[in-house]
Structure 1
């Protein structure tokens, strides 16, 4: 199979798998929103945010390391990486248990009665879902190896089977016992199924192997990813940490659904860029001229699709929300339309990121997230105080565009920036979307 055919095949599998994944996710969400109260979704959203934080603060780019390694099939290389992954899984588990305990003590001492942090079920849920970190730590590295080779078939099947298992468990639990435990069960079951299938569907086997030289090589590669991941967490989840102290669990639950729906397009972009474009760019990283040509062609197609999807979704979202959800979730449509403004920025930033990673420029990602965090720190409190949740979401949207600045600076320095080709699709689409959605209605800020 030619390189082009491999790319088309891998990209198609990722898109089909992602589409099915989102259908499963949306279907499960539509069912459980009718069985459970909005505040339960708010509490679980915060559990996910906190767990995601501990996980990202320990990220050293293990998957990216394997994908980019010249000897990526070497058993000693894989064993060393897997050993680090196992240690990381247990570390995340211990930290989450500690966080659960400290939060329980904090609630007892200060008798918090408002905001998501004051919900008495939050510490318990953190402790329950922490078991997922151990499962993830023992996962096979087969996905990283096969991603490098653009062999996505079985990997996408595993992801769908794991997600389906979690969704079925959640729906069944919510139907029989409509409590927050139903939401907590999904992630744990999904992680366990992923672990099981990562070994039963592949012949990869690992053993603990601590090689100081290889471990240092991993950390040298991932040190900037580690720092960037920590800052990335604040950039991506800082708004939710802020909202957790300012709004009720029910309001955060409604917001979490808007974020989920808005994330359909951005998550698709992340899937394609990380699983398809990164391997493609990595193979051409020694030929800058060819790499730049491929990059611009890819961006043209991707930006066009993202823009079309965002325009259609944004215009019809109020009608879709009325059809799909009951009256408790009416505010989802307002939040969703505003959040979709970030889709254009994500199309640019995500592809730029993997381009720079393929060139070994991992340090710039830290700068990207630093810019986003700084803009959130400045804008979020002011916007929230002026316009409430809507103002806070506007600050989040602006921060997504601010983060592109350091990427452009680095791309220019390595000869990869063609500014006209960067904005030829995105800028007109952004202006058109803004006019269609907000041009005739400033009720968002009244």
Structure 2
């Protein structure tokens, strides 16, 4: 057997360092471009979302949005409770471009979607009985067709994320959102009912499926089964499965809980307030899934010290930008809601500052977790969400009983705080300790909030007060 070493050939070590440095520089440039595209596509998507919400709020009543909030939560729950982490598995795997590996992942994904739809059909009657809404018996099976459709989505979507091809993904998703907006508005104008929202959601899944095959070049999927691929996907996915199931319980169960405690009108108002407050988190999630996770996965095999230096510098920029955006939302988003929506929706304005404040620690841990996932340590995320889910199911009903809806909203806003501490601890164990950087970013966020609140007070604009809703 022939062997080589840096000691035998010193020039190889230097060449390796230069190659590694060049590769790192290339990845940083691609990540920077990807970040710009992510931000641009997110801004465009939110503009479409605002236009859609404004127009649909003129055509539909708040109750419809409340029912749709509950339906989306059920579908999201089915997705997350069965998530095997196939896309992250493709992104991080050395076999991520292997056709056999991709076909195996696609086969698992397709059968999973069909199985989830059958489960939703069985659960439709119990869900309708629990929430006292007979219409859910029909709506749940119909909307859950989205699970079947998305199950046949091309693995080229994950491949594009793996190679940081954010521009293609951004263009495709903007097209999907725009066509969905037109489709939903036309339906709501012709027949203003909950079915406009349901049909619009199904249409978006069909468009996403079609464009994924049409616009993204690469491997064409077919049914296949490779034991080694299954073993690798399931081995990584077992922690993803646990983490995403707990993610749902921690971050989505608020709608399920409130759906039982308040009317569908109030649930619809809560959903609109949450959408306003959630803007920075959605941007960070998009950044982490499309840029940060693929970015750090590429660096995972490189020198850890060099990687940590790059990652911390990149994270600081992201957090400082997020601090500015979130501070603006905390202090002004309620005014935007009152200006954009008609009077039927104004009762949602007081929830926005509370929910937005609770997003700060969410942004902190969302920029730690991609590193832990990239090196195969998702267990810290899972532990954090276990504690958060337990807190959600105990604190929210108790707070609602003691202080009404305002107490429940405060409990929801800070229920995922354990996830931050779990990720912080995991980062420390993996030599990625961010506490000092978190203090810096938090100080900036608090200072910006204080300055904007002072400006608002001097302008004679008070923060909205909680309103008793049922």
Give the TM-score of the pair, scaled to structure 1. Answer: 0.93
| Pairing 1:159–2:173 present | yes
Residue in 2 that maps onto 1:134? 148
Contact 1:166 1:188 in 2 (8 A): no
Distance 2:401 2:230 in 1: 47
Residue in 2 that maps onto 1:278? 293
Of the three residues 121, 124, 129, the one matched with 2:135 is: 121
Contact 2:380 2:426 in 1 (8 A): yes
SS at match of 2:103: helix
Instruction: Flag structure 2 segments of 5+ consecutive residues without an equivalent.
Output: 1-24
Of the three residues 345, 353, 369, the one matched with 1:353 is: 369
SS at match of 2:425: helix
Distance 1:228 1:319 in 2: 36
CA drift of 1:264 comes to 1.2
Q: Deviations over 1:4-53 (max 9, x none)?
A: 32112211111111111111111111101111110000001000001111
SS at match of 2:415: helix
Distance 1:415 1:266 in 2: 25
| Pairing 1:82–2:97 present | no
* Equivalent residue runs for 1:13-412 within 5 Å: 13-104=37-128, 106=129, 117-201=131-215, 202-286=217-301, 287-412=303-428
Distance 1:219 1:36 in 2: 43
SS at match of 1:340: helix
Contact 1:284 1:290 in 2 (8 A): no
Cα pair distance change 1:133/1:269, threshold 3 Å: same
Contact 1:44 1:125 in 2 (8 A): no
Q: Deviations over 1:54-95 (max 9, x none)?
A: 111110100000000112111000011011110111111111
Distance 1:128 1:301 in 2: 43
Q: Deviations over 1:363-394 (max 9, x none)?
A: 11111101211222332122111221211111
Distance 1:204 1:23 in 2: 33
Structure 1 range deviating more: 430-439 or 305-314: 430-439
Contact 1:148 1:279 in 2 (8 A): yes
Contact 1:66 1:72 in 2 (8 A): yes
Contact 1:337 1:437 in 2 (8 A): no
CA drift of 1:434 comes to 7.2
CA drift of 1:141 comes to 0.6
SS at match of 2:396: helix
Residue in 2 that maps onto 1:426? 442
Cα pair distance change 1:72/1:441, threshold 3 Å: closer
Contact 2:324 2:448 in 1 (8 A): no
SS at match of 1:331: helix
Aligned residue pair count = 436
Distance 1:39 1:442 in 2: 23
Contact 2:359 2:413 in 1 (8 A): no
Distance 1:123 1:434 in 2: 48
Contact 1:384 1:390 in 2 (8 A): yes
SS at match of 2:384: helix
Distance 2:233 2:132 in 1: 40
Contact 1:344 1:430 in 2 (8 A): no
Distance 2:238 2:450 in 1: 39
Cα pair distance change 1:386/1:259, threshold 3 Å: same
Structure 1 range deviating more: 411-420 or 431-440: 431-440
Residue in 2 that maps onto 1:113? none
Distance 1:373 1:434 in 2: 31
Cα pair distance change 1:386/1:61, threshold 3 Å: same
Give the TM-score of the pair, scaled to structure 2. Answer: 0.89
CA drift of 1:431 comes to 6.7
Distance 1:251 1:63 in 2: 35
Larger Rg: 1 or 2?
2
Structure 1 runs (4+) deviating above 4 angstroms are 434-446
